[in-house]
Structure 1
Amino acid sequence: MQRPMTCKGVYCVFFQLWILSGPAHPFTNVAPSGTASQSSTHDNADAWKAIDGNRNPNYHDGSCTHTEFGLPHWWRLQLPAMYRISSISITNRDIGADRINNAEILIGNSLENNGNNNPRCAVISSIPSSGTSSFHCRGMVGRFVNVYLSGTDPNGVLTLCELEVYGELATLAPTINAVVMGRNIVVVQRKLCWSDALFYCRDFYWDLLSIRSEEEWREMEEVLRIQSPHLTKHVWVGLRRYLMAGTWFWMSGDSMNFTYWEAQSVWQNTSPCGGMDTRNHFYWRDLPCHDHLYFVCLTDFKKYKDRVEFYSSTRP
């Protein structure tokens, strides 16, 4: 049987307060460092007001967001870097508190459907009037945080008075940064198989590298030539071959108007994964997909997602 707690004087007061409040949050709120946007704006209730550091739940005091009446409704935060998110806290307004009911909290790196196709952290069943509720996201990694209210009510709106994101910068492998024809790239110095390299680029940057012209290839050749002693013999790029045909394509969705293959093999005898030589002639060639190599990522986030979807049984 548990013994009853006993205490005396001021020590008891401090101990009881600690039990009620709990320890301090281990992470800092990183939301104010990001950029907010939303599906529409009503009555000057702009998206940035949900990350202004003010939890005031009174809408008329001017520190809450509000979308226009209609469908759909979403609010999005773009963080300045990739974060491993522990939890998200949302402060609801005082009047019309049910307007946030059944909204989804989404975290990820895709801007497809305005970011509303990203993985789900939680569904907001309800938040009390003027209340703040926390939702645990179990270390989900992403750069975009969405609050998405699909709904069916044509008179519905989405209102947030404050959204806080608690997490830490995601740990990344060492990289070599460069610019190729105006596009930012990183050569990631971590050995992964082709599919894991693709997911790594999509989780932390944008996609595996595509090379769209001879000029881009020559600039990429120069980057690899300088860094060659520090690289694997080949690096993965976004080359992929259709399994039932001999056609190669870029996973980023870019057109393949330029190629620089080492050899034109019969497609049935080749691997469907492509890489680039980091020495000698810097040819492209098919390589066993399970080879563990360094790889090259495009880092610029695109406004519209036109990448080729890729699925793996090892990826949830």
Structure 2
Amino acid sequence: MWAAHILSYLVMSKVKKFLEGCIQLHYTPTTQMFCVFFCLFFCHHQANTLPNVAPSGTATQSSTIPLGDASHAIDGNKNTYYEAGFCTHTYDRLNSWWSLLLPAMYSISSISITNRNIVGERINKAEILIGNSLDNNGNNNPRCTVIDSIPNGGTSTFDCGGMIGRVVNLYHSGSDPQSVMSVCEVEVYGELYQAPSPSLSVGVNGGSIILVDKKLSWSDALFYCRDFHRDLLSIRNGEEQTKVEELLGNPTFPVTEHVWLGLRRYLMGEKWFWMSGDDPNDYSHWRHQTQSPIRQSSSPCGGIETSAPFHWTDHSCEDHANFICFDGDGTDVQKVTFFSSARSPKLPP
């Protein structure tokens, strides 16, 4: 009977749940011990069979000295001699970082880092961060661990326990004004968690606006945009309104009568705000040329009509509609934090 339970947990659970199951099923001490050892063998086997997804991503870093391109950390070559041209290297600056943007969200089991053959102490105390936020170049994401040290020319592996994200960073968060980030290979072992949906986009103001072929509630649309792009779209001027109309006027897939924007109204008042933190008073395109009236307490979320004259409209946040995300460089504007108890517990805090 206990063997069947083990197989059941093996197939249906992640490693953490498997270990919890060893205790919760009230086995005898002998069977509990066997269960734990079996799981540890499985963990090791799983960690070595998951693919290295790092080469599918795009690497960047805080600065680059000659021969030290960020992409060298995901080129598959573990040569630890910097002069050979296979390692990364930033200038010595405060809060140096290296970042990897993956093409989709992954459940990341472990990360292996290969250090240079000399001055390996430069990696000491760097943080490994995993998440979906691009704010502060990805350096605001949750922490997997802090690197104590990696031997010169050696490779160390760090268990990240299935953290969810598409942004992986190495970050010197301390006060050293001459921190350097220099590694020779970064391997990210994980499995696909969620891929982005098909979309249509146009460029605007150095970035892009993306109409997503997926129907979600307003809050889920916000999380989606923050996971895969920068944010749910804010329309800050007439040029951006025109670009949105251009996008909605030629869709390549069926869209709902309205699509979500990053518009939200305070529940206890008439004031609307952009989730990006931009000022909604700078530009508006409500049907009545003023801020949208409160139709009902259950309509505090804003969208835009998908046909002319493309007015902004308020709706129940639970409506399922297409939505528009924004990608591009961040600004000094502070985006509004949003929490939903309905969000999947698999996603990082």
| Bigger mean CA deviation after superposition, 93-102 or 114-123 | 93-102
1:249 pairs with 2:273: yes
Measure the CA separation in 1 of the matches of 2:116 and 2:321.
51
Tell me if 1:147 matches 2:170: yes
Report deviation, 1:25: 3.4
Partner of 1:82: 104
Partner of 1:288: 316
Whether the 8 Å contact between 2:302 and 2:313 is mirrored in structure 1 is: yes
For the 8 Å contact 1:31–1:77, the answer to whether it is kept is: no
- One-letter code of the match for 2:276? S
Deviation at 1:222, TM superposition (A): 5.1
Matches within 5 A, 1:138-287: 138-142=162-166, 144-153=167-176, 157-167=180-190, 171-172=194-195, 174-179=197-202, 184-221=208-245, 223-227=247-251, 230-243=254-267, 245-256=269-280, 257-263=282-288, 264-266=292-294, 271-279=299-307, 281-287=309-315
The alpha-carbon deviation at position 185 of structure 1 amounts to 2.9
- Cα 1:67–1:220, aligned 2, differ >3 Å: closer, same or farther? closer
Three-state SS of the structure 1 residue aligned to 2:49 is coil
In 1: Cα distance, 2:45 partner to 2:253 partner: 52
Higher normalized strand content (fraction of residues): 1
Amino acid of the structure 2 residue aligned with 1:248: W
For 2:339, the equivalent position in structure 1 comes to 312
User: For residue 338 of structure 2, what is the amino acid of its counterpart?
Assistant: Y
Which consecutive segments of 4 or more residues in structure 1 shift more than 6 A? none
Q: Does residue 129 of structure 2 align to residue 106 of structure 1?
A: yes
When residues 217 and 158 of structure 1 are mapped into structure 2, their CA distance, relative to the original with a 3 A threshold, is closer
Which letter does structure 1 place at the counterpart of 2:259? V
State which of 124, 134, 156 in structure 1 corresponds to 2:157: 134
Structure 1's 33 and 153: CA in aligned 2 closer, same or farther, altered over 3 A? closer
Taking only aligned residues, the RMSD between alpha carbons, in angstroms, comes to: 3.6
Q: Which AA in structure 2 matches 1:285? A: T
Which residue, out of 24, 31, 56, partners 2:79? 56
Offset of residue 201 of structure 1? 0.5
Superposition TM-score, scaled by structure 2 size: 0.69
- Matched to 2:106, the amino acid is R
In the TM superposition, residue 200 of structure 1 has moved relative to its aligned partner by: 0.5
Is the 1:85–1:167 contact (alpha carbons within 8 Å) kept by the matching residues of 2?
Answer: yes
Report the residue type matching 2:61 in the other structure. S
Displacement of 1:160 after TM fit?
A: 1.1
Q: Distance in 1 between matches of 2:194 and 2:238?
A: 34
The CA deviation at 1:249 is 2.7
- In structure 2, the CA distance between the partners of 1:115 and 1:171, relative to structure 1 (3 Å rule), is closer
Question: 1: CA distance between counterparts of 2:237 and 2:89?
Answer: 45
Structure 1, unaligned stretches of length 5 or more? Answer: 2-18
Deviation at 1:104, TM superposition (A): 0.9
Alignment match of 2:96 (pick from 73, 83, 87): 73
Question: Which structure's residues are more often helix, by fraction?
Answer: 2
Fraction of identical pairs, as percent: 48
Q: Distance in 2 between matches of 1:181 and 1:71?
A: 32
- The TM-score, its normalising length taken from structure 1, stands at 0.75
One-letter amino acid matched to 1:252: S
Residues 173, 231 of structure 1: CA spacing in aligned structure 2 closer, same or farther, 3 A cutoff? farther
Do the aligned partners of residues 269 and 61 (structure 1) sit closer, same or farther apart at CA in structure 2, a change above 3 Å counting?
Answer: closer
Name stretches of at least 5 consecutive residues in structure 2 with no aligned partner: 1-29, 31-41, 344-348
Q: Which residue is 2:21 aligned to? A: none
Distance 1:289 1:83, change over 3 A: closer
1:26 is aligned, of 36, 44, 50, to: 50
Which one-letter code corresponds to 2:222 in the other structure?
L
Shift of 1:253: 3.8
Q: Give the Å deviation of 1:118.
A: 1.7
Q: Distance in 1 between matches of 2:179 and 2:335?
A: 34
Secondary structure at the aligned position of 1:230 is classed as coil
Question: Displacement, 1:193?
Answer: 1.9
In the alignment, the residues of structure 2 paired with residue 132 and residue 261 of structure 1 have an alpha-carbon distance, to the nearest angstrom, of: 57
